[in-house]
């Protein structure tokens, strides 16, 4: 899977399988990045909120693979809802990562984290200001592609209808038993590439007997089935691990799930531990 790519609306090519680094400590991030790159990963996903950009950057600079062969995504803090703080955050990420440019940067959430699932305010004006900062950095060549994360249809439309540069990706919680099919279709119809974080449902998929049964049918592990499921939905997929063995098996997903089995998996009973919209864990996950 490491050589599979997806092309964004602006022509930028993105490796479809990425290493997610949420909850990987800053002092362990460099080692995880080096291990991932050695395994074959060329796309690394981090965020300002993860507090590990410095370690991720160190791993990128010391992994032995030229910078231009790697794709680095980071996320603008959900709290940055004005131009100045968003632009300062962009500069801060460049400095923390120690890179001349970032391949992709996305707004982490339409709402500040403390407001997620707690407020009806979608911060339309604030998101337009944050988007303006990303757009200016994009035009300046500091970022090669820009997008959003955890945005619902109304949040996408706010930017789509009011901004010159359109979102290129939307990164959302997506896994077997929690698949936002309408949102995926809506975004893909606009040419917005979808990205799936937490493809193994924060480990909850490992407890599901129906998922396990399907994995056994294909002779693969539950995580492999879950990752392949998102790939076949046409998404960039971001399994998170610091374990080199898991990095390797997470990339060994070249089998194909049949159309019939994909429909079965789309309709597995929804995990009820997530928020009302299905894209944020209630506990405030910052994927």
Residue range 148-179, pLDDT digits in tens: 999 999 999 999 999 999 999 999 999 999 99
Phi-psi region of 49 (alpha: psi -120 to 50; beta: other; left: phi over 0): alpha
Contact 259, 250 (CB under 8 A): no
Distance, CA of 228 to CA of 209 (rounded, Å): 18
Q: How far is CA 254 from the centre of its chain?
A: 21
User: Per the CATH hierarchy, to which homologous superfamily does domain 5-266 belong?
Assistant: NADP-dependent oxidoreductase domain (3.20.20.100)
What integer pLDDT is reported at residue 287 of this predicted model?
Answer: 53
Q: Which residue has the tokens 């079965």?
A: 264
Residue 201 pLDDT greater than 50, yes or no: yes
50 counts as catalytic: yes
Contact 32, 19 (CB under 8 A): yes
Query: HSE on the CB side for 41, CA within 13 Å?
Result: 32
Mean pLDDT, rounded, for 107-124: 95
Mean pLDDT, rounded, for 76-83: 98
Give per-residue pLDDT as tens, 5-62: 999 999 999 999 999 999 999 999 999 999 999 999 999 999 999 999 999 999 999 9
Distance, CA of 32 to CA of 50 (rounded, Å): 14
Query: Over pLDDT 90: what percentage of the chain?
Result: 92
Give per-residue pLDDT as tens, 235-287: 999 999 999 999 999 999 999 999 999 999 999 998 766 444 344 443 334 45
Mean pLDDT, rounded, for 225-230: 98
Residue 130 pLDDT greater than 60, yes or no: yes
Mean pLDDT of the chain: 94
The catalytically annotated residue of 50, 123, 138, 274 is 50
Record the pTM. 0.94
């Amino acid at each position: 899977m490491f050589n599979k790519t997806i092309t964004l609306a602006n022509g930028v090519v993105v490796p479809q399988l990425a290493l997610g680094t949420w909850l990987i400590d800053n002092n362990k991030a460099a080692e995880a990045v080096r291990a991932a790159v050695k395994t074959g990963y060329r796309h690394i996903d981090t965020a300002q909120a993860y507090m590990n950009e410095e370690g991720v950057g160190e791993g990128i600079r010391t992994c032995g693979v030229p910078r231009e062969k790697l794709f680095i995504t980071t996320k603008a803090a959900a709290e940055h809802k004005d131009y100045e703080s968003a632009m300062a955050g962009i500069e801060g990420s460049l400095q923390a990562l120690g890179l001349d440019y970032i391949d992709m940067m996305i707004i982490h959430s339409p709402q500040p984290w403390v407001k997620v699932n707690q407020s009806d305010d979608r911060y339309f004006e604030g998101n337009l200001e944050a988007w303006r900062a990303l757009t200016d950095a994009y035009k300046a060549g500091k970022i090669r592609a820009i997008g959003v994360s955890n945005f619902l249809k109304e949040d996408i439309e706010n930017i789509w209808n009011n901004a010159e540069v359109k979102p290129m990706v939307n990164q959302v919680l997506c896994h077997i038993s929690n698949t936002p099919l309408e949102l995926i279709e809506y975004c893909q119809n606009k040419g917005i590439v979808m990205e799936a974080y937490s493809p193994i449902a924060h480990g909850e998929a490992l407890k599901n007997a129906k998922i396990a049964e399907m994995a056994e049918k294909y002779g693969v592990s539950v995580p492999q089935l879950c990752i392949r499921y998102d790939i076949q939905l046409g998404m960039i997929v971001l399994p998170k691990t610091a374990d080199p063995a898991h990095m390797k098996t997470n990339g060994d997903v070249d089998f194909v799930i049949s159309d019939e089995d994909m429909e079965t998996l789309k309709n597995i009973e929804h995990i009820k531990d997530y928020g009302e919209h299905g894209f944020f864990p209630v506990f405030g996950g910052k994927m």
